[in-house]
Amino acid sequence: MVNFGSLLEPYQKRVNQALNILLPKEGYSRLSDAMRYSVLNSGKRLRPILVYMASELGEEENKEGADDLACAVELIHCYSLIHDDLPSMDNDQLRRGKPTCHLAFGEATAILAGDALQPLAYSLISDCSTISSNLKIEVLKRLSFACGWNAMVEGQMKDITTKEDFNLSELDLMHNQKTGELIKTSLEIGGLVAGLDLEKLSKLSIYGENIGLAFQITDDIIDIESPSEISGKDQGSDSLHNKTTYPALIGMEASKKRAKQLAEKAEQNLNVFSTKSTKLKKLAQFIIQRDH
């Protein structure tokens, strides 16, 4: 059994330290406290970990640049979670084992906290001193698409208007947009700061597409099988909100089998990196074996 803690914890600690430094100080304002509450409440930190691991695939590592990009994608992710939990969206009560931001601070403050985190992510990239201007433009281009109207936001739109006769390809598209694009982009921008060529970036993208779907399928399984004290979220919330999930559509066993197949396909695209991709291969296994 892979010791996933030893694999993930150094990266989690690294990004948590960087996030703590860049966010407004505690007590500065109610808004800043809501921002810190939502960002610094643990979490898997999958997206920044993907940035870090991809940034290590090149000949030389730009640690400061990787830190800035890792924090940027996590800020985007946290903004999306705050808005996803709102009463007008999923109306969730728990996030990472704590009351959601709108319960802790009120709905208006939660909306504004999410609004503030997104531009903070972009300013972090634009102000990074170790990344060239051309690279910043490419990173901003990819990240803005991943969280824009035809990716994350459109995926969320589909999620709140799910129809009862959703088929598998429609479900895949929704989750590719809502979740997969940012996961894929985290890998791509980590690869960009590592100086990878287009062929290797393409392999990273395909890896990201596959683990993105595997991640969502596993999330759907966790929603059924893991109690709140383990998952940190409301158990059975998908069923409560009448959402179409992979287990509901194709069954639990088929869902687990498909997640495993997607992880294996993802790993195959890393062979071009030789032994440097070992961590990313282990991460694919973590994604489908986790219980939270």
Residue 118 clears pLDDT 80, i.e. is over it:
yes
In the prediction, which pLDDT does 232 show? 60
Nearest-angstrom CA–CA distance, 189 and 54: 8
Residues 6+ apart with CB under 8 A from 64: 128, 129, 130
- 146-150, 221-225, 258-262, 283-287: which has the minimum mean pLDDT? 221-225
Phi, then psi, of 88 in degrees rounded to 5: -75, -10
232-274: pLDDT as tens digits: 666 556 665 678 899 999 999 999 999 999 999 999 999 999 8
Confidence of residue 291 (pLDDT cuts 50, 70, 90): confident
What confidence score (pLDDT) does residue 233 get? 60
Number of domains, the chain: 1
With beta carbons less than 8 A apart as the criterion, state whether 125 and 68 touch: yes
* Residue 227 pLDDT level (bands cut at 50, 70, 90): low
User: Which element (helix H / strand E) includes 267?
Assistant: helix 252-268
Q: Encode pLDDT of 133-183 as tens digits.
A: 999 999 999 999 999 999 999 999 999 886 667 899 999 999 999 999 999
Report the alpha-carbon distance of residue 231 to residue 65 in Å, rounded. Answer: 32
Nearest to 143 by CA among 201, 199, 76: 76
pLDDT number for residue 35: 98
Note the pTM of the prediction, 2 decimals.
0.95
pLDDT in the model for residue 104: 97
DSSP, res 275: G
pLDDT tens digits, one per residue of 65-97: 999 999 999 999 999 999 999 999 999 999 988
Query: Range of 249's domain?
Result: 4-289
Percent share of the chain, pLDDT over 70: 93
What does the alpha-carbon distance between residue 81 and residue 144 come to, in Å, rounded to a whole number?
A: 17
Residues near 189 by beta carbon (within 8 Å), at least 6 away in sequence: 51, 54, 69, 73, 139, 142, 143
State the CATH number of the domain containing residue 87: 1.10.600.10
3-30 pLDDT, tens digit per residue, is 888 999 999 999 999 999 999 999 999 9
